[in-house]
């Protein structure tokens, strides 16, 4: 028996080599679809052929990986371990290809990022474009994720890097760089509070405001501050999961919205102003750059992470 160093599980020899890559693709297709019949349609293979392929793999593996249900299948504990192994080995293979590309001077690779919404409008487009200017062979996938989803994507090898505000559990999240970001209040230039250099929470909440839902760090920090200072939570007239929508809505109904400054470029919105919330009222959020704990990243992802650290360090506090 062989030992899977990622999970500690013993697996049968001879099954985890290159010839099983297609089997892994079929297995993941069945997992996504929840049944062999539905997966066969997605994978353009007959249900009987797919079932034979799964059965043959289980015979070679030495264990069943699916629990057969009346209306489909689902992974059993052995299958869960196998799925983790598949994703870990795919990540290792991507890292190997990236290293070989570096040896040949090709400098190719792919970087996958899970990030908070605040990074999407300005920060990440600028940094990715700068990186690709030096390494045009590198491709990217950028996915907006909340704190919980970002950490889950790291653990499932769906993303290499996460750049999010305050991940919820931190179990699998290895922080490589952290920086504080105060919350800003965004409002039209004619708003009564627009002339103030700093906004107190009590003053902001006296006016109509729009706020994100409770799953976002901005809302969590604002609610915590409101409970401490006023014994209440926010009561926004408009609630949204889009910070772009909330920021722009203020132009239409003279409302205050709230956002971290890394997601702002007020020169592009001359009708709005952004003012920091008083730190004595509202604690800053922690922007965390990280990866799956203990994982060795592919070369392109590791290199891009170093570039992100440099860019974050260069930002004004």
Report which of residues 274 and 4 the model is more confident about: 274
Residue 295 pLDDT > 80: yes
Give the pLDDT band (50/70/90) at residue 107.
Answer: low
pTM above 0.85, yes or no: no
DSSP string, 184-200: EEEEETTSTTTT-SSB-
User: Does one domain contain both 275 and 133?
Assistant: no
Look up residue 107 and give its two tokens.
């400098």
Q: With pLDDT > 90 as the criterion, what percentage of the chain qualifies?
A: 44
Residue 154 included in any domain: yes
User: Does one domain contain both 202 and 70?
Assistant: no
The terminus-to-terminus CA distance of the chain in angstroms comes to 54
Residue 49 included in any domain: yes
In this structure, the strands spanning 257-259 and 184-188 are antiparallel
Which CATH number covers residue 227?
3.40.190.10
Which CATH number covers residue 57?
1.10.10.10
Alpha helices in the chain (DSSP H): 21-33, 36-43, 47-61, 77-104, 123-134, 147-155, 201-205, 217-230, 243-253, 299-314
CB-CB contact of 258 with 184 (8 Å): yes
Mean pLDDT of 277-288: 94
Report which of 216, 226, 242 is spatially closest to residue 148, judged by C-alpha positions: 216
- Report how far residue 274's alpha carbon sits from residue 268's, in angstroms, rounded to the nearest whole number: 12
Residue 90 included in any domain: no
Give the pLDDT band (50/70/90) at residue 152.
Answer: confident
Mean pLDDT of 134-159: 88
Mean pLDDT of 178-188: 94
Least confident of 55-64, 180-189, 231-240: 55-64
User: Does one domain contain both 76 and 117?
Assistant: no
Where does a domain end: 84, 118, 136? 84
> What backbone torsions phi and psi does residue 14 show, to the nearest 5 degrees?
90, -10
User: Does one domain contain both 152 and 212?
Assistant: no
User: Does one domain contain both 170 and 291?
Assistant: yes
Residue 114 included in any domain: yes
Residue 17 pLDDT > 60: no
Give the pLDDT band (50/70/90) at residue 297.
Answer: confident
Residue with tokens 């689902």: 74
DSSP bridge partners of 289: 163, 177
- Report how far residue 154's alpha carbon sits from residue 114's, in angstroms, rounded to the nearest whole number: 8
User: Does one domain contain both 158 and 291?
Assistant: yes
Mean pLDDT of 223-243: 91
User: Does one domain contain both 296 and 151?
Assistant: yes
Spatial CB neighbours of 264, under 8 Å, sequence gap ≥ 6: 122, 184, 186, 247, 274
Q: How many domains does the structure of the chain reveal?
A: 3
Residue 93 included in any domain: no
Domain hosting residue 56, numbered range: 2-84
Report which of residues 222 and 94 the model is more confident about: 222
Residue 170 included in any domain: yes
User: Does one domain contain both 294 and 264?
Assistant: no
User: Does one domain contain both 129 and 257?
Assistant: no
Residue 125 included in any domain: yes
Mean pLDDT of 245-265: 91
Angle between helix 123-134 and helix 299-314 axes, rounded to 10 deg: 130
User: Does one domain contain both 240 and 191?
Assistant: yes
Least confident of 43-57, 105-119, 193-207: 105-119
User: Does one domain contain both 187 and 238?
Assistant: yes
Residue 164 included in any domain: yes
- Report how far residue 192's alpha carbon sits from residue 113's, in angstroms, rounded to the nearest whole number: 39
User: Does one domain contain both 294 and 149?
Assistant: yes
- The pLDDT mean for the chain works out to 85
Residue 11 pLDDT > 70: no
């Amino acid at each position: 028996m062989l030992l899977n160093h990622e999970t500690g599980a013993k697996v049968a020899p001879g099954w985890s080599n290159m010839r099983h890559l297609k089997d892994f693709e079929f297995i993941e297709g069945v997992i996504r679809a929840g049944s062999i019949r539905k997966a066969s349609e997605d994978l353009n293979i007959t249900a009987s052929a797919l079932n034979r392929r799964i059965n043959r793999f289980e015979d070679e593996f030495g264990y069943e990986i699916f629990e057969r249900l009346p209306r489909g299948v689902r992974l059993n504990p052995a299958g869960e371990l196998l799925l983790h192994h598949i994703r870990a080995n795919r990540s290792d293979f991507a890292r190997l290809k990236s290293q070989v590309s570096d040896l040949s001077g090709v400098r190719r690779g792919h970087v996958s990022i899970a990030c908070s919404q605040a990074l999407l409008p300005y920060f990440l487009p600028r940094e990715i474009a700068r990186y690709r200017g030096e390494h045009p062979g590198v491709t990217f996938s950028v996915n907006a994720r909340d704190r919980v989803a970002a950490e889950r994507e790291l653990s499932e090898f769906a993303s290499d890097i996460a750049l999010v505000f305050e991940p919820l559990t931190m179990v699998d999240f290895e922080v490589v760089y952290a920086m504080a970001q105060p919350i800003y209040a965004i409002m039209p230039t004619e708003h009564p509070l627009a002339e103030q250099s700093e906004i107190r929470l009590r003053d902001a909440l006296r006016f109509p405001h729009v706020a994100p839902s409770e799953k976002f760090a901005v809302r969590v920090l604002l609610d915590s501050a409101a409970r401490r200072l006023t014994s209440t939570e926010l009561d926004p007239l408009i609630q949204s999961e889009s910070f772009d929508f909330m920021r722009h809505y203020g132009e239409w109904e003279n409302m205050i919205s709230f956002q971290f400054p890394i997601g702002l470029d007020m020169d592009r919105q001359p009708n709005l102003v952004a003012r920091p919330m008083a730190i004595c009222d509202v604690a800053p959020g922690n922007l965390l750059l990280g990866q799956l704990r203990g994982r060795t990243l592919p070369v392109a992802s590791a290199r891009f992470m170093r570039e992100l650290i440099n860019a974050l360090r260069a930002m004004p506090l």
